[in-house]
């Protein structure tokens, strides 16, 4: 083969790692392209799509390698779920050597796209761009501690217009059993599947895109897990010590009332209004971790509240939970809000530390995109989109496992795979002709 791992130690570990995952591929002849694909993702390079990787890992057999890698990612019928489970089994011991899993982190990531033919592409919010634009969006679940995190589930969000269009579904190879689901519904299904697979439970972290969904929060609680989730400043809450009015007394006629209620004088308030009404002594400066140049710190308040969204359809008030509010000293008003079902006796510092652990998912996506080419897949189909992401996660799992084997003096950007020289005259598809 044209690739060589940098050191004899990492070569043997890389070989052992990919061999441990081969059993999920279904056919023995997929093992070689699988190893090449993972190596190609780990190699330096601006593009991690099939053709540039083929040139890097097999410079003497670019066309044949391109065909085998393309077949593996776009055509071969192997299970993404089985591969991710095998990656989890291989990588979690390396993560847990630094401490038990503290959190399950839900998030989504967007990939800007041109045109309308790639599966799931629609005009929607793209976090990478910070605005609405043409893109694909995928929902993921990662398990994390303070040392590292690993995605254990990953699925494309299929907009309703796609889900209800048989012709587009057919062209993109969307499976028949994939129906429209909101992002919180996809995330809740991922959590349920992870529990069924025996992944050790932990608190669930998510941003406000998920936290504002009452059904999502209730679903986590029904599964027996605690959460710390972002909410919007407009989220309605019952202030500390208050709750909905009890059902009206029965007048003796008709069916007795059973639903809690509100009246003109007894109403919930927005999270923002609650925060602005808190006294100065409610706020305390908390430092949670070291940033790039300094320790990260801000002011926080914590209050016990009851979420109020549509609770007039319930027979009992919602249980109390924490509302965590952040108000930096240099901000004109509070900037972030969370709800949490962590224990009532948890300290403010521990609650802040839990909420801020969600930064790990940002590191996940930064490395998966910038170092491993998560968004570089150029095919249009459902299978290829998910196979490429799964292989990126497999390569990322090896990167996590290897970090402990790389000496600190080697630096963060130490390559795990040696770069092969490209063949003379090689010009990737789409590049300008130098002549």
Assigned token pair, 18: 């990919």
Render pLDDT for 16-69 as a digit per residue (tens, 0 to 9): 999 999 999 999 999 999 999 999 999 988 889 999 999 989 988 999 999 999
Confidence of residue 10 (pLDDT cuts 50, 70, 90): confident
Say whether pTM exceeds 0.85. yes
For the chain, the three-class secondary structure string (H helix, E strand, C coil) is CCCEECCHHHHHHHHHHHHHHHHHCCCHHHHHHHHHHHHHHHCCCCCCCHHHHHHHHCCCCHHHHHHHHHHHHHHCCCCHHHHHHHHHHHHHHHHHCCCCCCEEEEEEEEEECCCCCCCCCEEEEECCCCEEEEEEEEEEEEEECCCCEEEEEEEECCCHHHHCCHHHHHHHCCCCCCCCCCHHHHHHHHHHHHHHCCCCCCEEEECHHHHCCHHHHHHHHHCCCCEEEEECCCCEEECCCCCCECCCCCCCCCCCCCCCECCCCCCCEEHHHHHHCCCHHHCEEEEEEECCCCEEEEEEEEEEEEECCCHHHCCCCCCCEEEEEECCCCCCCCCEEEEECCCCCCCHHHHHHHHHCCHHHHHHHHHHHHCCCCCCCCCCCHHHHHHHHHHHHHHHHHHHHHHCCCCHHHCCCCCCEECCCCCCCCCCCCCCCCC
Q: Which of 126-135, 261-270, 357-366, 399-408 has the highest mean pLDDT?
A: 261-270
Residue 434 reports pLDDT greater than 50: no
Assigned token pair, 150: 């690993």
Render pLDDT for 172-212 as a digit per residue (tens, 0 to 9): 999 999 999 999 999 999 999 999 999 999 999 999 999 99
Residues 360, 95: contact at Cβ < 8 Å? no
């Amino acid at each position: 083969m044209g690739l060589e791992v940098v050191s004899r130690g990492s070569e043997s570990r890389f070989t052992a790692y990919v061999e441990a995952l081969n059993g999920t591929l279904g056919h023995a002849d997929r093992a070689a392209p699988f190893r090449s694909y993972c190596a190609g993702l780990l190699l330096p390079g601006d593009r991690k799509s099939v053709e540039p990787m083929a040139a890097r890992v097999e410079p003497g057999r670019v066309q044949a390698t391109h065909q085998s890698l393309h077949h593996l990612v776009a055509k071969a019928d192997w299970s993404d779920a089985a591969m991710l489970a095998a990656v989890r089994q291989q990588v979690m011991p390396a993560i847990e050597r630094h401490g038990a899993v503290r959190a399950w982190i839900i998030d989504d990531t967007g990939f800007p796209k041109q045109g309308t033919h790639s599966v799931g592409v629609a005009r929607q919010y793209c976090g990478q761009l910070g605005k609405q634009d043409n893109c694909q969006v995928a929902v993921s679940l990662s398990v994390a501690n303070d040392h590292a995190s690993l995605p254990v589930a990953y699925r494309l969000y299929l907009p309703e217009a796609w889900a209800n269009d048989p012709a587009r579904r057919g062209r993109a190879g969307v499976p028949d059993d994939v129906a429209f689901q909101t992002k919180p519904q996809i995330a809740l299904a991922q959590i349920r599947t992870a529990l069924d697979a025996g992944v050790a439970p932990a608190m669930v972290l998510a941003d406000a895109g998920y936290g504002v969904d009452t059904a999502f929060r209730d679903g986590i609680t029904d599964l027996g897990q605690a959460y710390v989730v972002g909410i919007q400043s407009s989220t309605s809450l019952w202030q500390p010590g208050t709750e909905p009015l009890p059902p009206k007394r029965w007048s003796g006629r008709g069916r007795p009332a059973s639903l809690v209620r509100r009246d003109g004088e007894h109403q919930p308030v927005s999270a923002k209004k609650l925060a602005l009404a808190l006294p100065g002594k409610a706020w305390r400066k908390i430092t949670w971790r070291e940033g790039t140049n300094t320790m990260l710190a801000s002011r926080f308040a914590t209050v016990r509240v009851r979420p109020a969204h549509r609770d007039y359809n319930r027979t009992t008030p919602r249980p109390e939970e924490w509302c965590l509010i952040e108000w930096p000293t240099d901000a004109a008003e509070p900037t972030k809000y969370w709800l949490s079902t962590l224990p009532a006796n948890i300290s403010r510092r521990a609650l802040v530390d839990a909420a801020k652990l969600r930064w790990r998912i940002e590191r996940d996506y930064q490395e998966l995109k910038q170092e491993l080419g998560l968004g570089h897949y150029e095919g249009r189909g459902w299978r290829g989109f998910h196979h490429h992401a799964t292989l990126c996660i497999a390569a990322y799992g090896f990167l996590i496992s290897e970090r402990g084997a790389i000496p600190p003096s080697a630096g963060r950007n130490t390559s795990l795979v040696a770069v092969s020289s490209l063949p003379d005259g090689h010009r990737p598809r789409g590049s300008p002709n130098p002549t």
